[in-house]
Amino acid sequence: MTGQTRTITYRDAVCAGLRDALQRDERVFLMGEDVGRYGGCFAASKGLLDEFGPERVRDTPLSESTFTGAGIGAALGGLRPIVEIMTVNFSLLALDQIMNNAATYLHMSGGLFNVPLVIRMATGGGKQLAAQHSHSLEGWYAHIPGIKVLCTATLEDARGMLWTALQDPDPVLIFEPSILYAMEGELAEGAGAVDIARAKVHRSGNDLTLITYGSCLYKCLDAAEQLSATGIEAEVIDLRSLRPLDEESFLTSVARTHRALIVDEGWRSGSLSAEISARIMEKAFYELDAPVERICSVEVPMPYAKHMEEAALPQVATIVETARRMCGGG
Amino acid sequence: MSDFKAKPGLPLIDREESLYFLRQMLRIRRFEEKSAELYSATKIRGFLHLYIGEEAVGVGVATALDPADAMVATYREHGHAMVRGMGMDAIMAEMYGKVTGCCRGRGGSMHLFDAEHRLYGGNAIVGGGLPVAVGLALADRMQGRKLVTCCCFGEGAMAEGEFHESMNLAALWNLPVLFVCENNYYAMGTALNRSESVVDLTQKAAAYGVDAMAVDGMDVIAVVAAARKAVAQIRATAAPFFLECRTYRFRPHSMFDPELYRSKQEVEGWKQRCPIQSLIRRLQEQGWLDEEALARLEEEITGEISAAVDFAERSEWEPVSELSRFVYSDPEVQ
Ligand SMILES: Cc1ncc(C[n+]2csc(CCOP(=O)(O)OP(=O)(O)O)c2C)c(N)n1
């Protein structure tokens, strides 16, 4: 690394990752709705059609199930497709292909056919898009054996996870929190591929562990800042990979802080946060000084009105309040 | 049909009805222009999909239905809601996110529902409303109600499996569904010929043995005539019908869209065929509409819209304590 950085958006970082992959491996191609002429529904693939042509940046009809299935077929046939589904909400039309084909072929064929496919999609709320455009369903996908599930919260990961995912012999889903596309930050000039197996500690502390991923990372970092002002030092972990879970990272942290608070934009019941909590109970129960707690979205379909949406989503104030209570403060 | 006449050499149209169509189209146009303004003023948020340019389709189709018939629409549905009878107040308040909105501010622009007028959404999953329309028609049929369910969707939805599955099932079970494709030639940035191998959409209906017709969707009188014919046939046979209305959206897909996928000339060309301007010209040729009457109409509509904006402004927000209401019908279930 040169030490030089430049200011770019999360969207630019995604685009840089796509460009890099298309340049480095001619088996790679991108397909999805409006990825070409429109430039991507979040403008993440803007310019790529001109650069790589319509063979490798393919606009598809509105046919989520079929173009995802075609991605599976193309992967079986020797290509390295990147399928973009506009948002996780529409991925439910392709759930059958993801669950019943992509995730099963390797095992079901006795190891004969692996599916080296990457599927990217946006996720999450916060933009007043109501109940058909705002949910965080990545936790559901993390339920499925046979696929890997990543969520890119930072510019480094938005830039670097794609290439690593493309090297994986099996299907990898990458979730991009849509609220982050416009986020600006510094990215190293030489930034490239990153690992996709490990969680990352974004802030260290000894009093409590905040376990999170995606856009809630920033809420946790804000909360940690506020907690620090009142003498509570929180450790903040970005899971990065939701399946497999890097449980060592949070178990090690909890062994030191003795308190765990999980912050997840998904719903609580039967969720990823429940899974993490269970693993802490199973493997670090005797380390705990307080019950594990969770802050999740309220279990309602996402409402449109701003004040209601805010009330439904995890918020910094709740994180601070809960953390303080867990640490014995007010 | 009160006043069915025309000047020599001009096609027959009904005076009162035509003026009604003009009023409805103008109400939609002006309401949406105001909505766009309010969006820029951040009073309305989320996605806002305008129907501007396509008004003749919604007005024409909705007029052909009886009040008891059902409608299923997409996220581009302000016009359908208005013509079916929902007041501007309830729609505007919904887009403000106020509790007096048709869905208590929980749905916003993309999710207008109305039980009284049997509007079953406002669906923002492309293709998501089609199977629902089939089910509504099934319920009517099984319970002996002689009603029609009208399902509006964009041509983009025709690439989804749900379109094909719904057409097949409606035909197979002989269900009274009016499938209305609002073909505006673009699904976001994807032109029809980049999403369909066969661009004559009525041929797809033929594959399921469903009767079909294509109509100029910029001509409200043509749309009404076609829709009436279709509805009459559905009522007579209970079999589904596919109506393609060829139209154009003058505005971006939603509020953010640099429109890289189409040329300014193309948009301008279609604007020359504005359904409202064409109807005004026709009415003027007939001598049925003078400047004064038009100004009065505009004024009435402006009044109706400002009343709706006032209503939305004055309305309350739903208390946050109600957030978990209506997740289940039984309020005790958590
Ligand atoms: C299943 C699904 N996929 C993608 C989207 C994103 N999307 C919203 S509108 C739209 C274009 C739909 O075009 P069309 O059906 O022709 O209707 P129009 O917007 O032109 O009225 C797309 C791709 C969605 N809402 N649902």
Asked whether residue B318 is assigned to any structural domain, the reply reads: no
Asked whether residue B110 is assigned to any structural domain, the reply reads: yes
Determine the residue type at A132. Q
pLDDT band at A2 (very low <50, low <70, confident <90, very high): low
Asked whether residue B279 is assigned to any structural domain, the reply reads: yes
Asked whether residue B331 is assigned to any structural domain, the reply reads: no
Number of domains observed in the structure of chain B: 1
Best CATH choice for the domain A5-188 from the list 1.20.120.790, 3.60.15.10, 3.40.50.970, 3.40.190.10: 3.40.50.970
Q: Is the CB of B155 under 6 A from ligand 1?
A: yes
pLDDT band at A230 (very low <50, low <70, confident <90, very high): very high
* Exposed/middle/buried for residue A286 (C-beta within 10 Å: 0-12, 13-18, 19+): exposed
Residues within 8 A of A (CB atoms), B 104-123 only:
105-108, 110-111, 123
Q: What is the mean pLDDT of residues A322-328?
A: 97
pLDDT of A193 > 70? The answer is: yes
**Secondary structure percentages of chain B, helix, strand, coil, to 5:** 45, 15, 40
Predicted confidence at residue B10, as pLDDT, reads 62
Round to whole Å and give the CA distance between B323 and B170: 37
- DSSP string computed for B145-158: ----EEEEEEGGGG
Residue B186: which domain range? 2-313
User: Considering Cα of A201, then A299, then B105, then B124, what sign does the dihedral take?
Assistant: positive
Residue A62, classed as helix, strand or coil, is: coil
Strand order in the sheet with A293-297: A200-203, A234-238, A208-212, A260-267, A293-297
Predicted confidence at residue B6, as pLDDT, reads 62
CATH architecture entry for A200-326: 3-Layer(aba) Sandwich (3.40)
The radius of gyration of chain A's CA atoms, rounded to the nearest angstrom, is 20
User: Considering Cα of B7, then B8, then B14, then B19, what sign does the dihedral take?
Assistant: negative
Q: Is the CB of A33 under 6 A from ligand 1?
A: yes
Which residues, in sequence order, are bridge partners of residue A76? none
| Distance from residue B157's CA to the centre of ligand 1 (Å) | 7
- A131/B111 CB distance under 8 A: yes
User: Is B207 in the A-facing interface, judged by CB distances under 8 Å?
Assistant: no
Is ipTM > 0.95 here? no
Which CATH number characterizes residue B191's domain? 3.40.50.970
The enclosing H or E element of B177 equals strand B177-183
Predicted confidence at residue B330, as pLDDT, reads 86
Measured between beta carbons, the chain A residues lying within 8 angstroms of B317 are 305, 307-308
pLDDT band at A128 (very low <50, low <70, confident <90, very high): very high
**Residues near A124 by beta carbon (within 8 Å), at least 6 away in sequence:** A134, A135, A136, A177, A178, A179, A214, A215, A265
Q: What is the mean pLDDT of residues A166-191?
A: 97
Asked whether residue B333 is assigned to any structural domain, the reply reads: no
Measured between beta carbons, the chain B residues lying within 8 angstroms of A130 are 46, 106-108, 110-111, 124
Q: Average pLDDT per run of 10 along chain B, which is 334 residues long?
A: 58 86 98 98 98 98 97 98 98 98 98 97 97 96 96 98 98 98 97 96 97 98 97 96 98 91 97 98 94 98 98 98 94 79
From the candidates A33, A84, A133, A156, which is the catalytic residue?
A: A133
B20-39: per-residue pLDDT in tens? 999 999 999 999 999 999 99
Asked whether residue B326 is assigned to any structural domain, the reply reads: no
Q: What is the mean pLDDT of residues A288-315?
A: 98
Compare CB distances from A62 to B159, B260, B261 and report the shortest one's residue.
B159
| Distance from residue A308's CA to the centre of ligand 1 (Å) | 26
| Closest chain A residue by Cα to residue B325 | A300
Q: Which of B196, B74, B70, B176 is nearest to B129 (CA)?
A: B74
Measured between beta carbons, the chain B residues lying within 8 angstroms of A311 are 320, 323
Q: What share of chain A has pLDDT > 70, as a percent?
A: 99
Q: What is the mean pLDDT of residues A258-282?
A: 98
Residue A64 known to be catalytic? yes
Dig out the tokens for B51 from the structure: 């129907």
* Phi-psi sector, A135: left (phi>0), alpha (psi -120 to 50), beta: beta
Predicted confidence at residue B211, as pLDDT, reads 98
How many other β-carbons are positioned within 10 Å of the β-carbon of residue A197? 11
**Residues near B67 by beta carbon (within 8 Å), at least 6 away in sequence:** B85, B117
User: Is B189 in the A-facing interface, judged by CB distances under 8 Å?
Assistant: yes
B49-77: per-residue pLDDT in tens? 999 999 999 999 999 999 999 999 999 99
Predicted confidence at residue B256, as pLDDT, reads 83
Measured between beta carbons, the chain B residues lying within 8 angstroms of A62 are 126-127, 156-157, 159-160, 187, 190, 195
